[in-house]
Amino acid sequence: MKTCKRRGYCCQDVRLAESPEMLERAYNYWKQMKSIDPSFSEIYLIYPMLEFKHENPEEDLPYHYRCRHFSHDSDGIPACSIYEIRPRMCRDFPYYEDVKSLDRNEPLSPYEGCGYNDPD
């Protein structure tokens, strides 16, 4: 698999199937739970980390968000301000190790310019 080049495209354009309203409802539901349900998706737990940007109904993942923890380090390189405790969806990006139907001849990442798509 290719490697992350710290360009930050995935942090500046987090694409999800869930609307801001759905994420908020699920997050509020999760906060009221007495114990953590292991089947409850982490995607809802990151709701406070996301800032809604726009919706494109023509896409499979139509809701676009920006991560509030995206920043730049002292050298101006894109960085995650919570890198050591970032969510699994960030640690595992672009997720494709377990995807059986992936066409490995296609770009791994949906983000043009992403290091995972570089020819190396």
Question: Mean pLDDT across the stretch 7-26?
Answer: 93
pLDDT of 98 strictly over 70: no
Which has the closest alpha carbon to 17: 65, 62, 64, 66?
62
DSSP of 48-97, one letter per residue?
A: GGEEEEEE-TTSSS-EEEEETTEEE-TTS-EEETTGGG--HHHHTTT-GG
What average pLDDT score do residues 64-76 get? 94
Q: Are 2 and 115 in contact (CB under 8 A)?
A: yes
116-120 contact pairs (CB < 8 A, 24+)? 116/1, 116/2, 116/3, 116/4, 117/2, 118/2, 118/5, 120/2, 120/3
pLDDT of residue 111: 85
Asked whether the predicted pLDDT for residue 103 surpasses 80, the reply is: no
**How many Å apart are CA 69 and CA 61, to the nearest integer?**
21
Helices (H) and strands (E) in the chain, counts: 4, 5
Domain ranges of the chain: 9-99
If you ran DSSP here, which 8-state letter would residue 32 be given?
Answer: H
Whole-prediction pTM: 0.81
Is residue 14 helix, strand or coil? strand
Percentage above 70 pLDDT, the chain: 90
Residue 87: exposed, middle, or buried by beta-carbon count in 10 A (0-12, 13-18, 19+)? middle
